[in-house]
Structure 1
């Protein structure tokens, strides 16, 4: 499986658990304008998250007692047939804490993936956005195909346990064919269980849902905070509805100019950079680094561990063993945030001693598996949305040809990410395009925040996004830091710049750098 461009907040939420109003709904200003019946949202106390959202308890009130409220919006299954079948889009909100006359409107969040549940992620980190709540209702949603919004279903927990344990970096023809067969079987099960929705989970569909959401929430403009894949969704929205963009921030930015191969290669470079930074940090501590004496020694020992696991897995979380694939996945998860580096150190120490529990916990987090052995549908939705969006279909021969380039980009993650390009093999629906169109002439300014140490969405993507949005639209801000995304990093310069823009409308100077 490829490494998703997951949100820092969602990843932290899962790992922390494992380790310790009536309006006419008419179209916007896109060429695909449609008229839809009016609808009223009925806000109620939120239920416990569904299994497809990851399970757990209902969201706790925010400090001060504000309760989270949930509602369901009706949207067309097929935006080309808006008067046909409908689907439910699950929403969550916390109402603004400030004076009503200071309220700007709703601030809609998408935390990325694609495939992440906004209904579970927003309340998990709602306190991080307390300043923004002074003037906005905080709102998020499960995008179509995700969680309770016509969630894509592929395989059950027992099947997924086996799927995520498979050898994702084949060394010979037999292993290669087995990987192809497993991917094809998984994708066939997605069609079997969710064939009706698969053609309608493209990012353009989700963008139209957001414009409907804007209207149903009562806002003239869409105020938006997109993280990771959420930046791509925001860019597509801005392209379709440029005159409806209000104040928008993109953080942890996807490069909209890349095709899937280029995106995977960029991730290989990004995760290798994050691993290099981890190794340097560990070996620069006053006390000895417990997983290596020098940065290169750290990486050499990790590489040896993965080679050993390819030959002989070690005990993980009973009854599963830690395989090479699961360990690689767990290491990647730990590189999403510097806050995870201590877990990586602990996991490596244990794995060197023959205990794979911590690395497997991290891998489970990436895959959406909870302690009860049940899976959210984040990976199923991730595949469905990517394969509906991305036109290219890669063969094993394509991967073989590209392996040297991927290995040069990352000795540790290169093979894993290269073979991950087979994810859309035998997918039931054709992909829409080589890459998304985010050109947004006529849009209000969009603040694009790039992080120089971002592993999942490398820094260069922020500049490419700002340029693709168009002159006078994309405004770039650089954060010299580590981890996926910048706003939640704790950097005061970044948070103040974002807050000033969203709360006061003050656009930072182009090229602002925070460190």
Structure 2
């Protein structure tokens, strides 16, 4: 079972198959020491050149890594601590022109900022002159106490579980698989599973701001990173510096609402893709649905010997919709599948699932589930979900049923209770926050940018619209977007609310 990603922004489709990794200069393992809140705020980071990891080679450039010590539980900050992996590259310009740190979160939840920042930094040349580029693995992610709920063999063994069950036996297998996944997370993570919320990560960011020596938090959040930024602004409005939220999550949506939004967004992107190939969207959608129905009955063979199931095929269709540059890849994969070869769609699904050729899987989806299930209180029952399925199918004949079932399966029988129906992001008194929406965004539809700006409050949320395609706007080919964002971050030039880039 795989939730459609609120992934790593504009760079995801290009970077997901090969992500450079590095580890901290000190041990990022669980800390069992105790420290007072004041001592944590005054800690000195032991920066060292990033080391190579199993996830990839040492990143090029002047990258340094360290470990930030934070409380496991902010209600008891003097008790147990954990370590967060942090990465930075110092500003390249003159010291007198330096503006401070610019902290990035690339989404997920569950995405590794330590792995992603070196591959994303090429888009930020002008910003890098005056900012130290900084990112981190949030609590429960990758090198920061990363949650791993299953072994590679267990993950592959469950590829046959149908995420759109068609009969009682498939339903039973679907929900047993979901419960088993949660039990694996509880066994692996222990008490950490109750302390990976977005609110706690926002508090980690404010502690990081203090340790980095910044009076204000300058922040660039992408996809889920926009939700994290909004929660930070709510908790610490007076500490908000220059904040950009790109590919914006709708903060008013609950579990079902997010699924509806994604069904709308991915179908909209698929329609735009089909138009670009000269197809009628309705006819092209029907053709893809027919293909998926055939695969559901008889999975396709691949050159690897593994089978392409319907669930893997849907996942494979999703990934290239994140970037318009990847649309030709989708065409090739669909054509091959029509001819009975599932190899290309399986490769795309493996890219999203972070599976390498040797059969090793990444842990992003494990962390994503742990974080989102702690954040989200609403957990639809199987019966409630079945009533929603006709609506989801109407919204998206391709993705609707997948996302509809996901509302019940994602956090089914989860071992810890959810915290809220939706995040609180109102931030009265905060500095203006630049909210960037892309009208063709598949994973975080454009409407989310408007909702975020409204929830941040009058005079805080400032909307910048790009009429484009793909997940995210900055660095996606619009000079208008890039120059507007850079002017805001570099000079504090707040654009007129409602500015449109075409």
For normalisation by structure 1, the TM-score amounts to: 0.92
Is 1:417 the equivalent of 2:417? Answer: no
SS of the counterpart of 1:195?
Answer: helix
Partner of 1:14: 16
**Residue-by-residue CA offset, 1:294-332 (whole Å, 9 max, x unaligned):** 443322221111001100111236232110000001101
Which residue pairs with 1:405 in the alignment?
Answer: 391
Q: Give the CA deviation at 1:36.
A: 4.0
Structure 1 position 178 matched with structure 2 position 173: yes
**Residue among 36, 44, 50 paired with 1:46:** 50
Superposed CA deviations along residues 197-250 of structure 1, whole A, max 9, x for unmatched, are 100000001001000110111100000000000000000000000000000000
Which deviates further from its counterpart, 374-383 or 360-369? Answer: 360-369
8 A contact 2:152–2:360 mirrored in 1: yes
Who is 1:29 aligned against?
none
Partner-residue secondary structure (3-state), 1:196: helix
- Aligned equivalent of 1:35: 38
The match for 2:323 is 337
TM-fit CA distance, 1:43? 1.1
Q: Paired residue for 2:493, among 474, 485, 506?
A: 506
Deviations 1:66-105 (A, max 9, x none): x111111111111111111111100111110111101000
Q: TM-score, normalised by structure 2?
A: 0.94
Partner of 1:30: none
Aligned residues: 483
Mapping 1:455-470, distance limit 5 Å: 455-470=442-457
C-alpha distance 345-170 of structure 1, shift in aligned 2 (>3 A) = same
Aligned counterparts of 1:248 and 1:276: Cα–Cα separation in 2: 32
CA distance in 1, matches of 2:305, 2:192: 34
Name which of 287, 309, 312 aligns with 1:301: 287
Pick the aligned partner of 1:224 from 219, 226, 239: 219
Q: Tell me, in whole angstroms, the C-alpha distance in 2 between the residues paired with 1:164 and 1:273.
A: 27
Aligned counterparts of 2:81 and 2:424: Cα–Cα separation in 1: 26
Deviation of the 1:12 alpha carbon: 2.0
Could you tell me whether the CA contact under 8 Å between 2:285 and 2:397 is conserved in 1? no
Query: Deviation string for 1:429-459 (max 9, x for gaps)?
Result: 1111000000101111100000100110010
For residues 140-179 of structure 1, the C-alpha deviation after alignment (integer angstroms, 9 at most, x for no partner) is 0001110000101100011111334421001111111110
Change beyond 3 A, Cα 1:127–1:446 = same
Could you tell me how far apart the structure 2 residues matched to 1:267 and 1:91 are?
Answer: 31
Aligned to 1:123: 118
The answer for the alignment partner of 2:132 in structure 1 is 137
Q: How many angstroms apart in 1 are the aligned matches of 2:495 and 2:434?
A: 8
Q: Secondary structure at the match of 1:15?
A: coil
* Equivalence for 1:99: 94
Aligned partners of 2:270 and 2:280: how far apart in 1? 13
Aligned-residue offset at 1:17 = 7.3
Following the alignment from structure 1 to structure 2, what is the Cα–Cα distance between the partners of residues 163 and 211? 39
The aligned counterpart of 1:22 is none
Aligned match of 1:3:
4
2:476 alignment partner in structure 1: 489
- Matches of 1:142 and 1:347 in 2, distance apart? 33
Q: Distance in 2 between matches of 1:249 and 1:209?
A: 19
Whole-Å separation in 2 of the counterparts to 1:218 and 1:317: 53
Q: Which of residues 287, 292, 314 in structure 2 aligns to 1:328? A: 314
Q: From 374, 388, 391, give the equivalent of 2:377.
A: 391
1:268-279 counterparts in 2 under 5 A? 268-279=263-274
CA–CA separation in structure 2 for the residues paired with 1:220 and 1:164: 48
Matched residue of 1:224: which SS? strand
1:197 is paired with a residue whose SS is helix
> Structure 1, residues 459-496: CA drift from partner, whole Å, max 9, x if none?
00001000100111100011001011000211000000
Find the aligned partners of 1:11 and 1:383 in 2 and give their Cα distance. Answer: 20
Secondary structure at the counterpart of residue 143 of structure 2: coil
Q: 2:259 aligns with which of 261, 264, 267?
A: 264
Which residue of structure 1 aligns with residue 363 of structure 2?
377
Q: CA 1:190–1:485 in 2, change beyond 3 Å: closer, same or farther?
A: same
The answer to whether the Cα contact below 8 Å between 2:13 and 2:320 also exists between their aligned partners in 1 is no
User: Counterparts of 1:317 and 1:110 in 2: how far apart (Å)?
Assistant: 37
Look up the match of 1:81: 76
Q: How does 1:356-371 map to 2 (within 5 A)?
A: 356-371=342-357
Contact map agreement 1:317 1:360 (CA 8 A) in 2: no
Conserved? CA contact 1:118–1:141, under 8 Å: yes
Cα offset, 1:45, TM superposition: 1.1
Aligned 8 A contact 1:279 1:294 in 2: yes
Alignment check: 8 A CA contact 2:37 2:78 kept: no
Q: 1:189 to 1:327 in 2, by over 3 A?
A: same
Evaluate the alpha carbon distance shift between residue 425 and residue 317 of structure 1 in structure 2; reply closer, same or farther with a 3 A threshold: farther
Shift of 1:15: 3.4
Q: What residue is the counterpart of 1:58 in the other structure?
A: 58
CA contact (8 A) 1:144 1:150 kept: yes
Q: Out of 398, 404, 426, which is 2:413 matched to?
A: 426
